[in-house]
Amino acid sequence: MQDEWRSIGIYDLQLPGILSVSTSWEARDELSIVAVDRVLIVKHDELARLMLSQLPIQGEIFLMDDAAAEVTSGQYWNFWQNNECWGKECQVIDSPPVDAKATLRYHQGIPNGEYEIYAWIPRLNGTIPVSYSLFASGLLMENDAGVSAVEFNNGQGQFVNAQWLFLGTWAIPERFGETVSVAIEMSVPANEDGEAVIDAIALVRK
């Protein structure tokens, strides 16, 4: 297994002081390896806090960002630097001549349960049709309306201000285990006029 950074969450710290991080585990035998190495603490700016505060519901949040997106037809995606994007950068596609997809993965797994899922949409001319699908352990999941691909035939919207776009509610059943790897796939059809963006995706556990 390759070394990697794993997120342990985003925390809103209101008071100054000494910050410590601890870990613990149950009894293990000689075949169960536990590795504890460095901890990296990154301060988010006020824009990130503002974006998260605009989520319409409260709950445990699992966030994915386009910085790690896997895209098809990559020559038609462009990075866009703008303060309205999560991390001040996102990816935009404009009237592609071929079908295109962008996939965001949460490899380390999320707990089973019911989730509301939102996509952060910066201000743009979002008129091209898009659809979103959720995969759990590689399996295509239906939302609470029995739909596996949520379609926005009129696009992501033409907003005056950036905002969260509600994609739907999905339940990840216990049969997947305590945690499950998930992916969100956004599809864009060919030969449609307009823009679409892939930026942050928030999965909020209810």
Whether pLDDT at 158 is above 70: no
* Per-residue confidence (pLDDT) for residue 189, from 0 to 100: 95
Higher-pLDDT residue of 66 and 31 is 66
pLDDT of residue 126: 78
Supply the pLDDT for residue 201: 97
- Mean local confidence (pLDDT), 140-167: 89
Q: What digits encode the pLDDT tens for the residues 160-198?
A: 788 999 999 999 999 999 999 999 999 999 999 989 999
Average pLDDT over residues 69-79: 95
Distance in angstroms (rounded) separating the CA atoms of residues 177 and 90: 33
- Three-state SS at 143: coil
Radius of gyration of the chain measured on its C-alpha atoms = 18
Q: What are 34-65's pLDDT values in tens digits?
A: 777 788 888 878 888 889 999 998 889 999 99
Segment 2-21, tens digit of pLDDT? 777 777 777 777 888 888 88
More confident site: 27 or 172: 172
| pLDDT value of residue 155 | 80
For residue 97, the model assigns a pLDDT of 96
116, 169 Cβ separation under 8 angstroms:
yes
The HSE-up count of residue 179 (CA atoms within 13 Å, CB side) is: 7
CA dihedral over 25, 27, 28, 30, signed as positive or negative? positive
In this predicted model, what pLDDT tens digit does every residue of 78-136 receive, in sequence order?
999 999 999 999 999 999 999 999 999 998 899 999 999 999 998 877 789 999 999 99
pLDDT for res 110: 94
Say what the pLDDT of residue 26 is: 79
Note the pLDDT of residue 167: 96
